[in-house]
Amino acid sequence: MKRAQIVKPYEPLVVDTVAIPEPPPKGVVVKTSYSGVCHTDLHQWDNEISEGSNLVQFIDNPDYKLPVVPGHEMSGIVHSVGSQQDQGDDPLKVGDRVALYPWIGCGKCGFCNNGDSNICAKNLWLGFMLPGGYASYIIVPESKFAVKLPDSIPLDVACMFSCSGLTTYSAVVTARPAVEKAIVRKGKANLLIIGAGGLGLWSTQIAKHLFKVSTIITVADVNEEKLKVARERGAHETVCWDPSVSDGNAIQEAMKIGGYDAIIDYVNTTKTTNRAFHCLGMGGLLVMVGLFGGQAQYSLPKMVFCGKGVQGVIVGTLQSMKDMIKLVADEKLISPPMKYLKLEDVTETLKILREGKMTGRGVIDFNL
Ligand SMILES: [Zn+2]
Ligand SMILES: [Zn+2]
């Protein structure tokens, strides 16, 4: 099988060929069909992330070591099944079409037992601590982490459920109580989505389906072209936060329709979080998702007097991924645009992503 590994930060990924692995007793081996290239892969390639004045190591986990096969958005076909696979109601079979849930935890702690393995402190994520999707075959330690797909969902779309799709679903679900409370209090709600990339586009559609009435969805981005796509995917309002616009004007523009009851920030820099904080209305909730880095300063009394809240979201649970797959299948949601690439071109793609010139989701197509 072919794989691409990060051997050293910033250096081109090394592509080589090794033997197809055997399935673990309780798991499966999946033949990869598609593997998404996530912005997080860039931070992983750099092995550092900005905290504002500091750069910190990308991941603080003693089990994270280079070289690593990155990639945590994968779909494919079950290639082989372990000898002790869970024989529940509908066991996986060779040939099943699946999307992989990469946010695997220790399986023993309270978080894992509650279904929250994405925030287990001893995470064993595919693409980080365990080999990931930049490979033509993937070992899935337990078969439950390979989720069967409805026939109506193509495998290229399905790879996005592992991270970008799941993250947006979790973010919208996290914002939901604030939106629903606002509707009870005022008869309507304002939701602001910052970032009209792949995540923002998923989010706009999910919000439209989960908040069917009385919610005005506004999307902010630096790029007018991306905002056009956001409008096509259901945004009621858009605001262009062109880099030349001052914070004051950007906030004023976004606030034309009033304060926001919930804001989902897919960028999450010092600049966007500052703007978001000022745009939050009474009782508003800021949901932080982006990992672009930085630090925040909030007015502490305003947090108290205005009952504002902040919540971070890191990907989502296995159950949320299943719920999202059902929503996409039932409501026929349209995925963000994709750009297909070969495994050998992944370093070049990461560079394009760094320059912010990627339109749509870069997806490695293992048939190319
Ligand atoms: Zn990701
Ligand atoms: Zn755990």
The residues spanned by each domain of the chain are 2-163+316-365, 166-312
How far apart, in Å, do the first and last CA atoms of the chain sit? 14
Instruction: Tell me the residue type at 300.
Output: L
Residue ranges near ligand 2 (ion) with Cβ within 5 Å: 105-106, 109, 112, 120
> How remote is the CA of residue 192 from the centroid of ligand 1, in Å?
22
Comparing C-alpha atoms, which of 187, 208, 163 is closest to residue 327?
208
User: Closest-lying ligand to the alpha carbon of 118?
Assistant: 2
DSSP state of 90: S
C-alpha–C-alpha distance, residues 246 and 337, integer Å: 30
What's the token pair of residue 111? 């978080």
> How remote is the CA of residue 113 from the centroid of ligand 2, in Å?
7
Q: Which fold has domain 166-312?
A: Rossmann fold (3.40.50)
> How remote is the CA of residue 119 from the centroid of ligand 2, in Å?
8
Which residues is 31 bridged to in the sheet? Answer: 77, 137
In tens digits, the chain (368 residues) has pLDDT values of 999 999 999 999 999 999 999 999 999 999 999 999 998 899 899 887 766 666 667 777 788 899 999 999 999 999 999 999 877 778 999 999 999 999 999 999 999 999 999 999 999 999 999 999 999 999 999 999 999 999 999 999 999 999 999 999 999 999 999 999 999 999 999 999 999 988 899 999 999 999 978 999 999 999 999 899 999 989 999 999 998 999 999 999 999 989 999 999 999 999 999 999 999 999 999 999 998 888 898 899 999 999 999 999 999 999 999 999 999 999 899 888 899 999 999 999 999 988 877 777 899 999 99
Which is the CATH superfamily of the domain at 2-163+316-365?
A: Medium-chain alcohol dehydrogenases, catalytic domain (3.90.180.10)
DSSP state of 253: H
> How remote is the CA of residue 160 from the centroid of ligand 1, in Å?
9
Q: Do 235 and 218 touch, CB atoms closer than 8 A?
A: yes
pTM, full prediction: 0.92
Alpha helices, DSSP H, located in 105-197:
110-113, 155-158, 164-186
Q: Do 120 and 132 touch, CB atoms closer than 8 A?
A: no
Q: Is 57 helix (H, G, I), strand (E, B) or coil?
A: strand
